[in-house]
């Protein structure tokens, strides 16, 4: 077992960074476990990097793209992810945590309401959380649920969330800039905390990995 808490900084850096370029590389990734309830979560206590956002925003695609490995299931039909999925990265160095996508319309009201609760509980209770990537579709303005979740993220101590605007390829450069400004204003977040991402056009990957350097 390798835990962040047990690693000295130098050891951590040695594991996480490539000696040639001194950057974070993902050299291995595997599915760890899925959980349906926060109480059930049992891990090795590795540091956790959480990915959250609305259903269909591109969470699974982002995880797969970062890992260059199809470990997370992606879907044309949104709302399938009712689970908290844990992936192990770099041989038990850390976990990527794929949180359930919220806001999917085609499920019962009760179920729809239960997912954000799960996310709120995770954010409030997770002891090993080190980083939160909050994904937003670049073409959509944040809705009430996005705003509520943003407020919960801001309450997590010692976490500076990073905002990823997904599907950057769907807009022109000027449209994307305008969208970023609007979304940042809507969420009361500084624009510098936003990263454009496109899986299809290969935009943003290095910038996101850089965030992991600074854990
Ligand atoms: N054009 C484009 N489509 C994307 C991108 N990322 C994800 N998608 C598509 O968006 C849909 C939902 O993606 P998925 O990763 O399953 O979203 P999740 O529900 O948040 O996990 C899929 O059809 C993906 O192919 C992107 O960067 N560009
Ligand atoms: Mg998914």
- Predicted confidence band of residue 10 (pLDDT cuts 50, 70, 90): very low
Does the reported pTM lie above 0.85?
Answer: yes
The pLDDT of residue 76 is: 58
More confident residue, 152 or 109: 152
Across 95-112, b (16+ Cβ under 10 Å) vs e yields bbbbbbbbbbeeeeeeeb
What's the 72 CA to ligand 2 centre distance in angstroms?
7
The pLDDT of residue 150 is: 96
Does residue 166 line the site of ligand 1, with CB under 6 A? yes
Q: Say yes or no to pLDDT of 5 above 70.
A: no
The pLDDT of residue 19 is: 61
Does residue 75 line the site of ligand 1, with CB under 6 A? yes
Atom of ligand 1 minimally distant from the CA of 79: 19
The protein residue whose alpha carbon is closest to atom 28 in ligand 1 is 167
Does residue 116 line the site of ligand 1, with CB under 6 A? no
| Residue 95 DSSP SS3 | strand
The pLDDT of residue 83 is: 85
What are the tens digits of pLDDT across the range 31-58? 999 998 899 999 999 999 999 999 899 9
Closest CA to 78 of 131, 30, 115: 115
Q: Which two tokens stand for residue 96?
A: 């990527």
What are the tens digits of pLDDT across the range 156-199? 999 999 999 999 999 999 999 999 999 999 999 999 999 999 99
- Predicted confidence band of residue 214 (pLDDT cuts 50, 70, 90): confident
Q: What is the DSSP string of 198-210?
A: BTTTTBSHHHHHH
Average pLDDT over residues 127-150: 96
Q: Going from the N-terminus, what domains does the chain have, and what CATH number goes with each?
A: 4-213 (3.40.50.300)
The pLDDT of residue 80 is: 54
The pLDDT of residue 2 is: 42
What are the tens digits of pLDDT across the range 91-135? 889 999 999 888 776 667 776 677 788 899 999 999 999 999 999
Alpha-carbon separation of residue 133 from 107, 195, 206, 208, 211 (angstroms): 25, 10, 14, 9, 10
| Residue 194 DSSP SS3 | strand
The pLDDT of residue 177 is: 98
């Amino acid at each position: 077992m390798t835990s962040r808490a047990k690693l000295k900084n130098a050891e951590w850096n040695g594991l996480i960074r490539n000696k040639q370029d001194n950057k974070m590389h993902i050299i291995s990734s595997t599915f760890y476990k899925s959980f349906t309830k926060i109480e059930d979560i049992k891990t090795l206590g590795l540091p956790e990097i959480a990915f959250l956002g609305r259903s269909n925003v591109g969470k699974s695609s982002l995880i797969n793209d970062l890992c260059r490995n199809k470990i997370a299931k992606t879907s044309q039909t949104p709302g399938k992810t009712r689970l908290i999925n844990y992936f192990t990265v770099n041989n038990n160095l850390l976990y990527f945590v794929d949180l359930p996508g919220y806001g999917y319309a085609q499920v019962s009201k009760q179920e729809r309401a239960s997912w954000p609760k799960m996310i709120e509980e995770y954010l409030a209770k997770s002891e090993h959380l080190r980083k939160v990537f909050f994904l937003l579709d670049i073409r959509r303005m944040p809705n009430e649920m996005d705003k509520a979740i943003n407020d919960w993220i801001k309450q997590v101590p010692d976490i500076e969330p990073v905002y990823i605007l997904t599907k950057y390829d769907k807009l022109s450069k000027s449209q994307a800039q305008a969208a970023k400004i609007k979304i940042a204003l809507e969420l009361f977040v500084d624009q510098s905390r936003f990263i454009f991402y496109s899986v299809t056009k290969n935009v943003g990957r290095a910038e996101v990995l850089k965030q992991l350097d600074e854990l």
